[in-house]
Amino acid sequence: MYTKPQILDLQATTKLFLQSPQKIVAIDMLRKILKFHEYQYYVSASPLISDYEYDTLFKILIELEAKHPNLITKDSPSQRVGNSLNNNFETLAHLVPMLSLENSYNADDLNDFDRKAREGALLDAITYCVEPKFDGASISLVYENDFLVRACTRGDGVAGEEITQNIKQIRSIPLSIPLSEYGIQQMEIRGEVIMSKKSFENFNEKLKSKQLTILANPRNAAAGSLRMKDPAEVGERNLDAFIYHISFYNLQQGATIPELLKTHSGALELLWNLGFRSPQNEKKIFSNMQDVIKFCNDFESKRDNLPYEIDGLVIKINDFALQEKLGMTSHHPRWAIAYKFKARQATTILENVEFQVGRTGAVTPVAKLQAVAIGGVTVSSISMHNEEYIKEKDLRLGDTVIIERAGDVIPQIVQSIPALRKGTEKIIEFPNNCPVCDYLLEKEEAEAVWRCNNPLCTAQIVERIIHFVSKDAMDIKSFGDANIRKFYELGLLKNIPEVYQLNFDQIATLEGFGKKSVDNLKAAIEASKSQPLYRLIYALGIRFVGETTAKTIAAQINHILDLTLLSEAELQNFEDVGIKVAKSIYDYFHDENNIALIKNLEALGLNMIQTNTTAVDGNLAGLYFLFTGTLTQLKRSEAEAIVEAGGGHILSGVSSKLNYLVVGEDAGSKLEKAKKIASIKIITEADFIELVKN
């Protein structure tokens, strides 16, 4: 455990080491520093140095240890980096069987549990400890004489597979802990390996860019990681672990049971003090079941605000003596129960597949499903991404499939259930020709998508117009997808420039277009002409040019046609523009049709020049901001634009780099995290407005 004064000392030494690496004479101190920063980052979620600074110190450690191998310790941060592959995963018996939990779904189930517990305990009231039910893969760890000696999967509950090498890659799991300070010689603990929502998104992005099949949910991603052959690959997955249970411990000779080990909440505190990420800050204590029930009901809606997935809450009787008295069945303890949130998985039938053509010509298979409700939302259509995805999951027409919707994550097909096949299911055939224009589909080498390369394909034209007017592009309000499709079908809108040449008299005759809606549309189209340059660049739909790249490019030029003058090499000099992106931009601006389109738009009055060059000298220059919770006076996008216009930057998460956290209503974990970093100024929306005025 790291207490405040130590934080200051260790941080001061960190800075000293970074400024003058030659001053590192004590390798032990360097290891202590690195362990301290691992803890700050992975357990406390309040990093004090940047990744780069950590890596710099880590490299020095590796160099020192290479020079003096006799000084390597088995809990050195360098020892996480596996140097051998896992050959087989040996099966080992757990010290204590890993039981499961009984499930509950409503207040009645919980009241039943409470009544039985009180009867068994001969008590009128019981204290409960409630904590998240982490949705990951469960593990057990054994520490002996302060060191991690083995880690196992759950297996069948009695014995699991030994995965120590892989578990050492998870930096929230310490390689050594001060057990002896508590008089403990050996300890077996249980927890859950999870992948945060953010890491899951990044991981799937990586898979996508390598043309690999993406995973359905963070739980599968975490579980699949545990048995990987190469520990280094596990390391790249950025896993986390919550430890919530001490299943067994042996005291050192003459030692007495630590005071904290009388209750579950005490055990969580002890685990936290030892350096684990236990649910110490998430847990809540209640003195009666009615309050537990209220908490469970209220918590379900907060589930999506957490940075990781949970599938419910676990309610545990807090007093260990009472736990022992109640005992367990062969399946679950009688002193704990899981309260499961509404399922986000469901089974349904894959009835049909539609092949949709996007604005770049990519053909995406979309599963049409028998409509089914998951977590309050009806799902009847799910993207199947590409041909490989269908093959790998062996999805067939008529199959029963398990689908899942994880919070704000887009619904996915988890798998088909082959055991339920009747023999009438059909293999899904990918078409050879574009389903819209019949052009022969092509697939580039090392790409997973089939593409229609017909520039006149009507599906692509419509999709390009939809993208052009969309919110992040030219942001033409009241011009939804359905209207664009309708106008296209009626011949009122055939290409992007015609957005600015609409015949409003004709539109006014259409059903649903009263004077007010026509006026709104007119005004929105007119206003879009003066959108900043980056929006236009993004709106053109150049392959690989997202909003961020569009901003980077716009900041480097005066007029959009300046891009016709830049070579691929010059384009690659821009931040975040690699070979692939540079080639795509170059090709776009060397195609006469595209240049004609741009000139046409210029003639129609659209802004083509860079107006607000980044205000490096602005009042917010060099400052980092992050917004959390709901803003009431400004839109999030407006607030972010104000920061950028003032030369400031927006960060995506809380770190020591952050200068201001602007807190709106119902702020969540970001606020808690920021409170732990003294250098961050936490301000309200009103403070922010005041700040930017000056």
- DSSP alpha helix (H) spans, 317-445: 320-326, 387-392
Give CA separation, 88 vs 17, 140, 618, in Å.
Answer: 41, 18, 59
Of 30 and 163, nearer to ligand IVH (C-beta) is: 163
On the 0-12 / 13-18 / 19+ scale of CB atoms within 10 A, 302 is exposed
Of 246 and 677, nearer to ligand IVH (C-beta) is: 246
Q: From 96-104, 179-187, 205-213, 643-651, give the range in contact with ligand IVH by CB under 6 A.
A: 96-104
Of 247 and 356, nearer to ligand IVH (C-beta) is: 247
On the 0-12 / 13-18 / 19+ scale of CB atoms within 10 A, 627 is buried
> Smallest Cα–Cα separation from 210: which of 390, 446, 450?
446
| Residue 133 in contact with ligand IVH, rule: CB under 6 A | yes
| Residue 461 in contact with ligand IVH, rule: CB under 6 A | no
Q: Where are the beta strands (DSSP E) in 600-663?
A: 624-628, 649-650, 660-663
DSSP assignment string, 496-547: GGGGGS--HHHHHTSTT--HHHHHHHHHHHHHHTT--HHHHHHHTT-TT--H
> Smallest Cα–Cα separation from 493: which of 458, 455, 445, 520?
458
x/- mask, ligand IVH, residues 138-157, rule CB under 6 A, reads x-------------------
| Residue 101 in contact with ligand IVH, rule: CB under 6 A | yes
Tell me the closest approach of the beta carbon of residue 291 to ligand IVH, in angstroms: 19
Which residues are annotated as catalytic? 133
450 vs 651: CA distance, rounded Å: 36
Q: Facing residues of 91 across strands?
A: 161
The 10 Å CB-count burial string (b at 16+, else e) for 139-161 is bbbbbeebebebbbbbbeeebbb
Tell me the closest approach of the beta carbon of residue 139 to ligand IVH, in angstroms: 9
Among 38, 65, 192, 240, binds ligand IVH (CB under 6 A): 192
Tell me the closest approach of the beta carbon of residue 286 to ligand IVH, in angstroms: 15
- Within 8 A by CB and 6+ apart from 157, the residues are 94, 97, 98, 99, 100
> Smallest Cα–Cα separation from 508: which of 517, 499, 500?
517
x/- mask, ligand IVH, residues 515-554, rule CB under 6 A, reads ----------------------------------------
| Residue 131 in contact with ligand IVH, rule: CB under 6 A | yes
Long-range contacts of 429-435 (CB under 8 A, 24+ apart): 430/355, 430/365, 430/387, 430/390, 431/355, 431/363, 434/357, 434/361, 434/363, 434/459, 435/355, 435/357, 435/363
Distance from the first to the final alpha carbon of the chain: 43
Using the 8-state DSSP alphabet, how is residue 129 labeled?
E
Among 99, 326, 366, 645, binds ligand IVH (CB under 6 A): 99
Tell me the closest approach of the beta carbon of residue 226 to ligand IVH, in angstroms: 13
Of 247 and 370, nearer to ligand IVH (C-beta) is: 247
| Residue 222 in contact with ligand IVH, rule: CB under 6 A | no
Of 159 and 671, nearer to ligand IVH (C-beta) is: 159
Size of the residue set binding ligand IVH (CB under 6 A)? 14
Of 314 and 362, nearer to ligand IVH (C-beta) is: 314
Tell me the residue number closest to ligand IVH, measured at CB: 138
Tell me the closest approach of the beta carbon of residue 407 to ligand IVH, in angstroms: 17
| Residue 218 in contact with ligand IVH, rule: CB under 6 A | no
Of 133 and 551, nearer to ligand IVH (C-beta) is: 133
Tell me the closest approach of the beta carbon of residue 138 to ligand IVH, in angstroms: 3
241 vs 192: CA distance, rounded Å: 6
Using the 8-state DSSP alphabet, how is residue 456 labeled?
T
Tell me the closest approach of the beta carbon of residue 233 to ligand IVH, in angstroms: 23
Tell me the closest approach of the beta carbon of residue 279 to ligand IVH, in angstroms: 6
Among 17, 42, 134, 588, binds ligand IVH (CB under 6 A): 134
Tell me the closest approach of the beta carbon of residue 141 to ligand IVH, in angstroms: 13
Cβ neighbours of 440 (radius 10 Å): 10
* Strand bridging mode 450-451 / 362-374: antiparallel
Q: From 17-25, 99-107, 422-430, 531-539, give the range in contact with ligand IVH by CB under 6 A.
A: 99-107
Binding positions for ligand IVH, 282-341, rule CB under 6 A: 314, 333, 336, 338
Among 42, 244, 272, 479, binds ligand IVH (CB under 6 A): 244
- Within 8 A by CB and 6+ apart from 313, the residues are 130, 131, 132, 133, 295, 296, 299, 338, 339
| Residue 100 in contact with ligand IVH, rule: CB under 6 A | yes
Of 192 and 240, nearer to ligand IVH (C-beta) is: 192
- Within 8 A by CB and 6+ apart from 323, the residues are 264, 316, 317, 333, 335
Of 268 and 499, nearer to ligand IVH (C-beta) is: 268
Residues near ligand IVH (CB under 6 A) are 99-101, 131, 133-134, 138, 192, 244-245, 314, 333, 336, 338
